[in-house]
């Protein structure tokens, strides 16, 4: 304690140069355990808090915009959990299990990213998995109002949890799961908008839906014919 008082200009934790702060606190002469490599280790492994964040969303389907955000998030958080909301009211195109498989395949190259599912309040889930931040994407001003409302409500529910907004690369700023679904359903190209695996799954899903839709009228016709006869 006295040591610190004799260095009035020493930076206060956590601001300033942490390495200098620790060096000032060390007894002198340094015992063998306190060598520079030990300090490096302590700073990177022991004394620095690991920050875990969740990236919640519907991901129906996951797009290259989501992937862009996951990559950015994985660089600033120690751990990132992509959390798929189980919301039966939304009537999704893909089941939660399908979305999970796609996201797992898309994120397999990131050591610090995992995929999970949840229901209920996002803040409750964040607390359960001991996350300290919620990652959300902002593409345009149109996202801002809704995201701001959600972030403020989440802060009211759980003041200790921060929402962090990130912007995707410009080329993904117009991209949404809804647009991808619509373009794919109308036969447009979704190349470059979603990973190959997702494109393939979308095509399969839409082919099945078309086959089913084409079968319906003919079934109806045959019923009509039978009635006429
Ligand atoms: P939700 O139903 O929660 O909006 P989404 O899967 O549509 O679920 O989006 C999850 C999060 O990802 C949201 O924060 C959304 O703004 C963000 N997001 C979606 N598409 C993109 C994109 N193209 N670029 C960046 N962020 C995106």
Q: Is the CB of 172 under 6 A from ligand 1?
A: yes
Q: Which residues are catalytic?
A: 66, 90, 139, 177
Alpha-carbon distances of 187 from 102, 199, 202, 214, rounded to whole Å: 21, 12, 11, 15
The domain locations on the chain are: 11-46, 52-174
176 lines ligand 1 (CB under 6 A): yes
What are the E-state strand segments in the chain? 52-57, 79-85, 113-118, 133-137, 162-166
pLDDT for res 228: 38
pLDDT at 154 over 50: yes
So what's the pLDDT on residue 206?
85
What was the pLDDT predicted at 89?
78
Q: Which of 137, 166, 179 to mutate to test the pocket of ligand 1 (most atoms within 8 A of CB)?
A: 137
**CB-CB neighbours of 34 under 10 Å:** 15
Residue 214's pLDDT is 67
Output the pLDDT for position 84. Answer: 98
Atom of ligand 1 lying closest to residue 136 CA: 14
Query: Span 167-181, mean pLDDT?
Result: 96
Residue 69 Cβ < 6 Å to ligand 1? yes
Q: What is the pLDDT of residues 74-119, one digit of tens each?
A: 999 999 999 999 987 778 999 999 999 999 999 999 999 999 999 9
Question: How is residue 23 written in tokens?
Answer: 């060096």
Residue 19 has pLDDT above 80, yes or no: no
- Residue 162 pLDDT greater than 90, yes or no: yes
Mutation test residue for ligand 1: of 91, 135, 139, the one with most atoms within 8 Å of CB: 139
C-alpha span between 135 and 163 (Å, rounded): 6
**pLDDT tens digits for range 113-136:** 999 999 999 999 999 999 999 999
- Of 3.40.50.620, 3.90.1150.10, 2.40.30.10, 3.10.150.10, the CATH number of 52-174 is 3.40.50.620
The residue whose CA has the least distance to atom 9 of ligand 1 is: 57
Mean pLDDT, all residues of the chain: 80
> What residue owns the CA closest to ligand 1's atom 4?
57
Q: Encode pLDDT of 39-80 as tens digits.
A: 344 344 555 678 999 999 999 999 999 999 999 999 999 999
Note if the pTM is more than 0.85: no
User: What is the distance in A from the centroid of ligand 1 to the CA of 117?
Assistant: 16
Q: In this predicted structure, what is the pLDDT of residue 90?
A: 79
Q: Is the pLDDT of residue 28 over 80?
A: no
Q: Is the pLDDT of residue 224 over 50?
A: no
The whole-angstrom separation of Cα 129 and Cα 79 is 11
End-to-end distance of the chain based on CA atoms, in angstroms?
101
């Amino acid at each position: 304690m006295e040591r610190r008082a004799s260095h009035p200009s020493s930076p206060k934790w956590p601001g300033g140069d942490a390495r200098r702060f620790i060096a000032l606190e060390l007894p002198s002469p340094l015992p063998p355990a306190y060598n520079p490599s030990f300090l490096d280790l302590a700073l990177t492994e022991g004394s620095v808090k690991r920050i875990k964040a969740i990236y919640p969303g519907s991901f129906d389907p996951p797009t290259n915009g989501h992937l862009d955000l996951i990559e950015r998030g994985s660089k600033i958080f120690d751990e990132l959990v992509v959390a798929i909301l189980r919301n039966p009211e939304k009537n999704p195109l893909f089941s939660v299990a399908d979305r999970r498989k796609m996201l797992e395949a898309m994120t397999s190259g990131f050591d610090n990213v995992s995929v999970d599912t949840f229901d209920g309040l996002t803040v409750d889930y964040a607390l359960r998995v001991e996350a300290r931040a919620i990652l959300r994407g902002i593409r345009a001003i149109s996202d801002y109002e809704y995201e701001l409302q959600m972030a403020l409500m989440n802060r009211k529910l759980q003041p200790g949890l921060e929402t962090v907004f990130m912007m995707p690369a410009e080329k993904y700023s117009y991209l949404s799961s809804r647009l991808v679904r619509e373009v794919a359903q109308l036969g447009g190209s979704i190349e470059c908008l979603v990973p190959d695996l997702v494109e393939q799954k979308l095509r399969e899903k839409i082919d099945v839906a078309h086959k089913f839709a084409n079968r319906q009228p003919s079934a109806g016709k045959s019923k009509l014919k039978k009635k006429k006869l």
